[in-house]
Amino acid sequence: MGYLKYLKDYWGSPEHDKLLKERLISWRREPVILRIDRSTRLDRAHALGYKAKQGFVITRIRIGKGASKREKPAGGRKPLHAGMTKITPKMNLQHIAEMRVARKFPNLEVLNSYYAAEDGKSKWFEVILIDPSHPCIKNDPKLNWICNPANRRRVFRGLTSAGKKSRETC
């Protein structure tokens, strides 16, 4: 087995769960969107196209779980018919997370993302971003498709894997 297979097996083990608890304590205090040096799930990142080279950026994003509440409408209504609770998003949380990261880093393109962790209140995803104007990306024949202007802002058109899954449900 290669080292990535060992990493994949370690992901669900009890030793990893203990480490994850400690990580979540520190992750809760971090900013919502944070650029990180290296992936916490290297096996998953490599499977989705990440390469350890210049032009690649990994960010971790925290997103709230559960349905949201709307503002109380003006005028008298029964609470049942006010339409305030149980408002769920049409897109999955992973796709929403990718779009938020894309707005934060407008010069980078979202390649893909993957689940990192969750607790009772939040979910964390790690998003792989590529700089289409970087010379290392432009010169790589396997990656320079992202430099094409037709592939700009692909996350907002639902062209990432999470976006495609999100479009299926609508």
Cα–Cα dist 160/163, whole Å:
5
Are 45 and 39 contacting, i.e. CB atoms less than 8 angstroms apart?
yes
HSE-CB for 116 with a 13 A CA cutoff: 26
* 81, 67 contact by CB (below 8 A): no
For 152, what's the count of Cα atoms within 13 Å in the CB-facing half-sphere? Answer: 6
pLDDT cut 70: percent of the chain above it: 98
Structure pTM?
A: 0.87
pLDDT at 90: 83
Token reading at 114:
């993957």
Element (H, E) at 123: strand 122-130
Q: Which residues of 9-32 are buried (b: 16+ CB within 10 A; e: fewer)?
A: eeeeeeeeeeebeeeeeebeeeee
In which residue ranges of the chain is pLDDT below 50? none
User: Residue 105: its pLDDT value, please?
Assistant: 96
Q: In this predicted structure, what is the pLDDT of residue 121?
A: 92
Domains, the chain, in order of start with CATH, read 29-169 (3.40.1120.10)
133-165 confidence digits (pLDDT tens): 999 999 999 999 999 999 899 999 999 999 998
pLDDT of 7: 77
- What pLDDT is attached to residue 75? 75
38 CB-contact burial (10 Å; exposed 0-12 / middle 13-18 / buried 19+):
exposed
Among the listed residues 63, 74, 70, the one whose alpha carbon sits nearest the alpha carbon of residue 87? 70
Handedness of CA 12, 14, 19, 21 (dihedral sign): positive
